[in-house]
Amino acid sequence: MNNSKLKLATTSLAGCFGCHMSFLDMDERLEALLEHASFDRSPLTDIKTIGNCDIGLIEGGVCNAENAEVLRQFRANCRILVAVGACAINGGVPAMRNQYSLQECLEEVYLHGTGIVNPRIPDDIELPLLLDKVYPVGEIVKIDYYLPGCPPSADTFLHFFEALLQGKTPELPRETLHYD
Amino acid sequence: MPTDQQSFTLDNCKIPFSPGQTIMDAALAAKTYIPHLCHFPGISPQGNCKLCTVKIGTRQVAACTTLAEPDIVVESEIQELTDARRALTQMLFIEGNHICPSCEKTGNCSLQAMAYHLGMEDNHFPQFFPQREVDASHPQIWLDRDRCILCSLCVRASQEADGKHVFAIAGRGLDAQLIVNSSSGKLAESDLAPEDLAARICPVGAILIKEVGYQTPIGQRIFDQHKIDEIGLEQVILAHNTTATRDE
């Protein structure tokens, strides 16, 4: 790669942070990666708004209005946008709530669940509204690459970045391909 | 090769066959892999999944329902068909709720292994997120219709292996789904038993034996150790049943 570092942004939408943990599972190999890349907005930095980036990694599906807004900001600012993990790719385990109506889910948790004091569905304007369903990120914005897995392994991230840094099209070796 | 036997060409290999044999059966007998999800040796073919689509000249045909003929030239492992098979597999994924991280068939699932085989990295199409009924009425078997790929192997196995006729596919188009032949439509009132081929033959996580999930460590599951082109569905079912009954 040339002398300027790749700008990298990451975010977790309706994710569990497991994909970020798997990213960190690159262990000491992260050091080598950081010689070629620096972080912009990410849960690992303090940067609040995303700037112009080369790569955006999206973990998690889209379950609420804020997720959709953040995802669109990432798309607008990232040259390459990557859906990371099962949730971003097809909604993942959180999409199992699509079996029920949103109202049913909210009532079960905030009104009818056990041990609830002052049952009330939270309605403060600060809170992002949930969407009717959990959506894969590819149904909201265009995605350039997909890293499957729940989560993808550290090796998957490594293969991906190695290819990008060498200016090749990332292709996952079969042995790193898994959805679970 | 006996002198009276005829042959055809599959991807530059000579495949011997007996008259009346399909391209798929001849290829399997010659240990040559053609991708498939709804074919099972000994069960009559139905051509549902279309994964076994091959090319004869400019025609695309299902290898499982097309009879082998002398000296035909059949193409299977070509980019055009790999792309088509990947698209078909993606369509199967988005029509159902194939959330592998929460499915006990993961690692032992032929649909998943097929997607790995075809290098499927995403689902490409918008998800349908269907809401079909789970039937957990039977004490030993349960049915998750959102994972059913309508291969109809259970339907055919139940007709042909033991004559119980437990399953059928009902409804048209996208409404097609697996139904159970009992007065209430529930598995509990059917004749299905866990040892029936129909209860074991499901290539995905739709028909499952209860209380045997997650017994095989990651790394030792069928498709952790084999690729789908190395192991036929028959062996998958045998291997899975051995795993599933190990601790009983």
Question: Taking the model in full, what pTM does it have?
Answer: 0.95
Give Cβ neighbours of residue A22 (< 8 Å, ≥ 6 apart).
A149, A151, A152, A153, A154, A156, A157
Burial class from Cβ neighbours inside 10 Å (0-12, 13-18, 19+) for residue A30 reads: middle
pLDDT digit string, tens, across residues B116-160: 999 999 999 999 999 999 999 999 999 999 999 999 999 999 999
pLDDT in the model for residue B246: 45
8 Å CB contact of A96 and B115? no
Q: Is B18 helix (H, G, I), strand (E, B) or coil?
A: coil
Tokens of A140: 């909201």
H helices within chain A, ranges in order? 18-24, 29-34, 65-77, 85-90, 102-107, 154-165
B111/A123 Cα distance (integer angstroms): 42
Structural domain including A87 reads 2-95+132-176
Angle between helices B79-95 and B110-117 (to 10 degrees): 140
Q: Which of residues 73-102 of B touch A (CB under 8 A)?
A: 93-94, 97-102
Q: Which of residues 158-187 of B touch A (CB under 8 A)?
A: none
Within a domain: A121: no
Within a domain: A110: no
Within a domain: A101: no
Is residue A17 left, alpha or beta, with left meaning phi > 0 and alpha meaning psi from -120 to 50?
left
Task: Give the number of A-B residue pairs with CB atoms closer than 8 Å.
Answer: 71
Q: Report in angstroms the alpha-carbon separations of A4 from A37, A54, A137, B15, B80.
A: 9, 11, 29, 57, 40
Question: Domain holding A74: CATH number?
Answer: 3.40.50.700
User: With contacts defined as CB-CB under 8 Å, which chain A residues touch B127?
Assistant: 90-91, 95, 135-136, 139
Q: Do residues A128 and A65 lie in contact, with contact meaning Cβ atoms separated by under 8 Å?
A: yes
Within a domain: A163: yes
**Interchain CB contact of A96 with B (< 8 Å):** yes
A170 residue type, one letter: P
State how many domains chain A has.
1
User: With contacts defined as CB-CB under 8 Å, which chain B residues touch A86?
Assistant: 99-101
Tokens of A57: 């990694």
Q: How far is A59 from chain B (nearest CA, A)?
A: 14
Give Cβ neighbours of residue A171 (< 8 Å, ≥ 6 apart).
A163
Give Cβ neighbours of residue A125 (< 8 Å, ≥ 6 apart).
none
B124/B92 Cα distance (integer angstroms): 11
Where do we find the tokens 């950081």? A34
Closest by Cβ to B101, choosing from A86, A138, A174: A86
Residue B245 has pLDDT above 60, yes or no: no
Rounded (10°) CA dihedral A31, A35, A36, A39? 70
Within a domain: A100: no
Closest residue by Cα to residue A168 from A84, A45, A80: A80
A33/A27 Cα distance (integer angstroms): 10
pLDDT in the model for residue B5: 81
User: With contacts defined as CB-CB under 8 Å, which chain B residues touch A178?
Assistant: 116
Residue-range domains of chain B with CATH: 6-77 (3.10.20.740), 82-247 (3.30.70.20)
Q: Do residues A60 and A131 lie in contact, with contact meaning Cβ atoms separated by under 8 Å?
A: no
Query: Of A2-16, B21-35, B52-66, B230-244, where does mean pLDDT reach its minimum?
Result: B230-244
pLDDT in the model for residue B247: 44
Best to test chain A binding among B99, B109, B218 (most A CBs inside 10 Å): B99
**Interchain CB contact of B123 with A (< 8 Å):** yes
Closest by Cβ to B112, choosing from A90, A145, A179: A179
**Interchain CB contact of A58 with B (< 8 Å):** no
Residue B1 has pLDDT above 80, yes or no: no
Positive or negative CA dihedral for B59, B63, B64, B65? positive
**Interchain CB contact of A132 with B (< 8 Å):** no
Within a domain: A124: no
Closest by Cβ to B122, choosing from A96, A135, A138: A138
Is residue B163 left, alpha or beta, with left meaning phi > 0 and alpha meaning psi from -120 to 50?
left
A89/A96 Cα distance (integer angstroms): 14
pLDDT in the model for residue A3: 55
Within a domain: A104: no
Residue ranges of chain A with per-residue pLDDT less than 70: 1-3
A28/A43 Cα distance (integer angstroms): 19
pLDDT in the model for residue A77: 98
pLDDT digit string, tens, across residues A12-39: 999 999 999 999 999 999 999 999 999 9
User: With contacts defined as CB-CB under 8 Å, which chain B residues touch A131?
Assistant: none
Q: Which of residues 34-73 of B touch A (CB under 8 A)?
A: none
Query: Of B30-39, B83-92, B184-193, B233-242, where does mean pLDDT reach its minimum?
Result: B233-242
H helices within chain B, ranges in order? 23-29, 79-95, 110-117, 153-160, 197-200, 222-225, 233-245
Within a domain: A47: yes
